[in-house]
Each structure stands twice: as C-alpha cells, then as structure tokens.
C-alpha cells in the first residue's frame, strides 16, 4: 500500500469533510497529471503535516537539550519549530501541483527544439508519422516529450485510436502551449496531407529562437542570484559571526558559540540548498 492510499484510509472522513479548503488546487492537480484525486491529495497533506510535526518536535527537543537549560523553554522551542515545519509542509503541498506543472512545462519547452529537429529528420526520410512518435518515445533524453510520444503510441496501438485523435488527446492535456501548438499543427498537416518535414523545420526555427531568448534571460538571472548569494548569505554569515564574536569578547549574551555553530552547520547549508534550487528552477538546460 502506497503512502497516499494509507493516508486516505486513515484520514478519509476528514478529507471528505474539509476538502473544500483546497478546492482551487484541483485544477493544478489535473493539469500536472499527478496520480491523486483531490481527496487523496488532501489526506496526504494532513498525514505529511502530522508526521513532520512530531518528527521535528522530537528532533528539535533533543537538540535543545544541548543548548537550552530551561525545560519549559525547550518544550516551547520544540513546539514552535515543529509548528513552523508543519505550516511549511501545508504551504508546500498547496503550491506543489502548480509548481510541478510549471516545472513540467519548462522541461518540455527546454527540449522542444531538440525533439522537433529529430522529428523533422525522421520525417525527411519518409518515415510514417506514427512511427516517428514510436521512435521518439524510445529516447528518454527528450524527457516529458518522450513520455507524451509514448502515450500517443499507446493510444494508437493499444486503444485503437487513429493518430490525429491520439495527438489531439495529448495536445488537450499538455501544460505547454508551445507543445500543444506543435501537436495541433502536426495533426492538421497529417490530415491535409501537407509537407510534415517542412512544417517541423519551420517550427524548429521558432523554438530555437525562443530557447536563445531564455538562455539570455537565464544568464542575467544567474548573475543576479550569484550576487545576492554572495552578498546576503556569505557576507551576511561572516558579518554575523564577527559581530557575535565581538559581543562574546565584551561579555555580552549567552550561548554565542552555540548560535555561531547553528549558523555554520544549519544556516549556510540550508541557504546554499535554497540557492541551488532557485538556479534549477530557472535553468533552461534541464529537460
């Protein structure tokens, strides 16, 4: 039994009663093609938030035994930290479908010009359109586009759809308008008996120009993010350590060493991970 099924079995009554709280997430769940109903997703949210609360409470409480002497303060610190972690989990679950859909869209559009060049080359050899998608589905390098090609192939070979119908079904579900435009155009070209190779090469030129613009924008964003990281994170942490050291030398404040240790052991790695994730989120190189 998967985690989602277990969560739904445990929290099904609560999920059914309060699912309206995340009703606006349903559209993004369908758009991103996540394998959950809205009620299952809400049950998983509750399950994950509770697990995160108790786990983080225990971890923070054990850490506080080494740092804090007051038992009431230990419990309060652990409870507050666990509550913050749970709220973070809930907020993360709320926005995850939308972020997942956008990430999927970005990966499709990053690989679109490569896939279109490849399909245009295959079409130039005289290969039938349904075989183009079948061959494309065998290349994992194209990521989400390969998965869509596999679905089109499955629609024709398993479910008995003709190729234009299978293409239309995928075009209606895809999160990328550019990919939808490509599939709809290919479908029209196939139906009317037009030159598929010429159409694909024309679309390739457009997609390459779009990709160049995204690369230029990414270069500027990367420069800004690097400057922010160096200024706020690296310099900020060094400044905080220097100031706290001066305060310690002057005899002010207790637990300065513990605070410095937490900044170096937890603060810097967490900030670096967030920085790397932000870079990956805007990168046009990931497919």
* Residuewise pLDDT in 10s, the chain (287 residues): 578 888 999 999 999 999 999 999 998 898 888 889 999 999 999 999 999 999 999 998 888 887 777 788 888 888 998 999 999 999 999 999 998 998 899 899 999 999 999 999 999 999 999 999 999 998 888 889 999 999 999 999 999 899 999 999 999 989 999 999 999 999 999 999 999 999 999 999 999 999 899 888 888 888 888 888 888 777 877 877 777 777 777 665 556 776 777 777 777 788 888 888 878 777 776 76
* Total number of domains in the chain: 3
Place of tokens 């990367």: 222
State the pLDDT at residue 253: 54
User: Is residue 287 domain-resident?
Assistant: no
* 267 and 230 housed in the same domain: yes
Q: What's the sign of the alpha-carbon dihedral 133, 139, 140, 142?
A: negative
State the pLDDT at residue 4: 85
* 53 and 9 housed in the same domain: yes
244, 246, 249, 255: CA torsion to nearest 10:
0
User: Is residue 91 domain-resident?
Assistant: yes
User: Is residue 32 domain-resident?
Assistant: yes
Structural domain ending residue among the three candidates 209, 235, 262: 209
User: Is residue 223 domain-resident?
Assistant: yes
* 170 and 114 housed in the same domain: yes
CA 129 to chain centre: 32
Residue 139, domain extent: 107-209
∠ CA 183-188-189, nearest 5°, is: 95
User: Is residue 240 domain-resident?
Assistant: yes
Structural domain ending residue among the three candidates 165, 190, 209: 209
Distances (CA, A) of 275 to 125, 228, 285: 45, 9, 17
Residue 21: partners with Cβ closer than 8 Å, 6 or more residues away: 42
* 196 and 119 housed in the same domain: yes
Place of tokens 């499955």: 154
User: Is residue 9 domain-resident?
Assistant: yes
Structural domain ending residue among the three candidates 79, 104, 129: 104
State the pLDDT at residue 131: 94
């Amino acid at each position: 039994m998967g985690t989602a099924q277990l969560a739904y079995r445990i929290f099904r009554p609560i999920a059914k009663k309060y699912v309206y709280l995340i009703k606006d997430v349903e559209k993004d769940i369908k758009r991103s093609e996540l394998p959950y109903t809205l009620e299952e997703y809400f049950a998983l949210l509750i399950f994950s938030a509770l697990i995160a609360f108790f786990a983080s409470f225990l971890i923070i409480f054990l850490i506080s035994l080494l740092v804090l002497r007051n038992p009431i303060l230990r419990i309060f610190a652990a409870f507050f930290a666990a509550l913050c972690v749970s709220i973070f989990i809930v907020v993360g679950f709320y926005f995850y479908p939308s972020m997942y859909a956008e990430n999927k869209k970005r990966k499709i559009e990053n690989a679109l010009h490569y896939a279109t060049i490849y399909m245009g080359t295959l079409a130039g050899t005289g290969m039938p359109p349904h075989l183009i998608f079948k061959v494309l589905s065998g290349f994992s390098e194209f990521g989400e586009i390969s998965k869509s090609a596999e679905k089109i192939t499955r629609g024709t070979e398993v479910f008995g759809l003709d190729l234009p119908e299978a293409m239309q079904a995928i075009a209606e579900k895809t999160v990328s308008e550019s990919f939808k435009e490509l599939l709809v155009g290919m479908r029209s070209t196939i139906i009317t008996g037009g030159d598929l190779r010429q159409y694909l090469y024309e679309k390739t030129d457009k997609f390459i120009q779009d990709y160049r613009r995204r690369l230029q924008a990414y270069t500027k964003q990367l420069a800004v993010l690097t400057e922010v990281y160096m200024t706020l994170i690296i310099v900020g942490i060094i400044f905080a350590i220097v100031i706290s050291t001066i305060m310690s030398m002057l005899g002010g404040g207790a637990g300065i060493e513990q605070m410095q240790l937490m900044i170096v052991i937890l603060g810097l790695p967490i900030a670096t991970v967030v920085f790397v994730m932000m870079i990956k989120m805007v990168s046009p190189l990931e497919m």
